[in-house]
Structure 1
């Protein structure tokens, strides 16, 4: 089943460029386009896409505010911020508002495909720099450890630490000499046991509990 994608960008040529990239792959289906955050919210409610590709700087309502509202209303919808700059400031803000990933507009089209496929399968590692800034923002001081992660098995704890360090599922499988399927299974258990939703929250948790430096 193809992955339904909503494109949100105020520039027509940018939307056309993204569409041209993704239409080369049968894995993706473009279900709609929006030129600002308000339209994105309305189309999300109407179309319920799997993934939204969200520009940051837009008129009427920018991508940050739209992301915040969409994630509050439709938490299952995944949002990837798209930007021309690798400056982490806006991307960091976007992740704080609920986005789960980001793409640079100028990277090769094959990288778009690989990233979005992995993103749809919850396999995209987090940028170490962005993860670190999130941890610094939310955790200026480490509190004392709690016993919550005692619910995890020794292997699950290893997987948690590697995820928090920014490793992908494939890298974790090679490091621990286990299959990617087993990594996914451990990751699912970790999220369930700790009542977390994504890799960003795992990194945040690991830092707060003193499980990583």
Structure 2
């Protein structure tokens, strides 16, 4: 099995060395490059085309948010996982705009980071509980506005989207709806295309902004004990 190519972008060498060790101990990832600033991260991603980029925010030159925006524009196949010490709202609320697949704080464990890297590689979204909480509080009020007409989504697509927003993975959704994982993947692909997004995080945010999903609806759903705020592994 080919290893998953991964790139690290952080201006602290010791942090990059630690992350590299955690990842390569798994024998699943191959760290193909390390960048110490935002500009280098963009150029390296374009050249190396890694499947996953782990990106810090506070770096010399352009910050990690802008670097992510440029990487997703130039290399849309790269999944970017933000790993930072900061939970500033201006960064968090930029997520749907820049296309990041996840946002973690640096208080996560090595195991959580490894599992998150696997998750974004699979096309899933990962949010630190603190980040998810801020997003939901912010968007919960937005979701109270008069809903736009979501009729261009089928009933099953809406159901799959709500379950995905509640934190269920494709396999769990398939089991709950008694269909195949491939069927769920097709539904999610249709949802992404119709909403003009590329990740679960963006799809969930778009649906909440339009008023199709709200916190009360998510809380009422039977999600087999899964939490939206944590989607590690």
Check the 8 A contact 2:93/2:135 in 1, yes or no: no
Q: Determine if the alignment matches structure 1 residue 129 to structure 2 residue 133.
A: yes
Could you tell me which residue of structure 2 aligns to residue 150 of structure 1? 151
Q: Which residue pairs with 2:200 in the alignment?
A: 199
Give the unaligned 5+ runs of structure 2.
215-233
Q: Secondary structure at the match of 1:59?
A: coil
The 5 A counterparts of 1:84-163 are 84-85=85-86, 87=87, 89=89, 91-95=91-95, 96-126=97-127, 128-132=132-136, 135=139, 139=142, 142=145, 144-146=147-149, 149-163=150-164
For normalisation by structure 2, the TM-score amounts to 0.76
The runs of 4+ residues in structure 1 deviating greater than 6 Å are none
Q: 1:136 to 1:212 in 2, by over 3 A?
A: closer
Gaps of 5+ in 1: none
User: Which shows bigger deviation, 203-212 or 5-14?
Assistant: 203-212
Deviations 1:71-94 (A, max 9, x none): 233333221111235x35365045
Q: 1:32 Cα shift? A: 0.5
Shift of residue 178, structure 1, vs aligned partner: 4.3
Aligned length: 209
Maintained 8 Å contact 1:92/1:133: no
C-alpha displacement of 1:45: 1.7
Assess, with a 3 A threshold, how the Cα gap between structure 1 residues 100 and 133 changes in structure 2: closer, same or farther.
farther
With the length of structure 1 as denominator, give the TM-score of the two structures: 0.82
- Aligned counterparts of 1:22 and 1:178: Cα–Cα separation in 2: 33
Q: Deviation string for 1:65-114 (max 9, x for gaps)? A: 222222233333221111235x3536504514332212333433222222
